[in-house]
Amino acid sequence: MTVLASIRPDSVNLALLVHVAGAMILVGGVVIAAGAALVGWRDATATLQRFAYRTLLFVAVPGWIVMRVGAQWTYSKEHLGDLPSDPTWVGIGVGTSDAGGILLLLALVVGAIGLRRARNGGSTGLLKASGIIATVLVAAYMVAVWAMGAKPS
């Protein structure tokens, strides 16, 4: 009987699970927010755009935090900092995470201002802009998902 060697040490499993779970929550939240925002462009009451904003705030942001904590924990557990340079897939992941976090915050700020204006009877343009940023995030996170799975060198 052949015994298969594990790809990584078992001590990394929990950290990796936290990272992947956070990433799944983050990507799911951003996809739902982008979809609701895009469909909500026709909604004269901006209901779906408000839903999109709240999804970013209450789903995507906590997912981003859990994903980043898990990523740093996994990085530490796998001793990737001991390498002379980070693998390409780590660089793509860190870059996407950091830039995505900034874009997520930007979408939240723009969306909050847009919500306030929409409640006062103003334009929903900023809510639409928040949805566009969420759509850009979907594309960026798909690149990160590819990098984490394909592990380009």
| pLDDT tens figures, 81-140 | 888 888 888 889 999 999 999 999 999 999 999 989 888 887 778 888 999 999 999 999
Instruction: Find, among 84, 43, 90, 49, the residue nearest to 71 by Cα.
Output: 90
Query: Residue length, the chain?
Result: 153
The single residue listed with the structure tokens 């929990």 is 14
For residues 49 and 124, the answer to whether their CB atoms sit within 8 Å is yes
> Residue 91: what residue type?
G
For residues 37 and 48, the answer to whether their CB atoms sit within 8 Å is yes
What pTM did the predictor assign? 0.87
Q: Is the pLDDT of residue 8 over 80?
A: no
**Cα 145 to Cα 60: distance, rounded to the nearest angstrom:** 16
* SS3 state of residue 151: coil
What pLDDT is recorded for position 118? 82
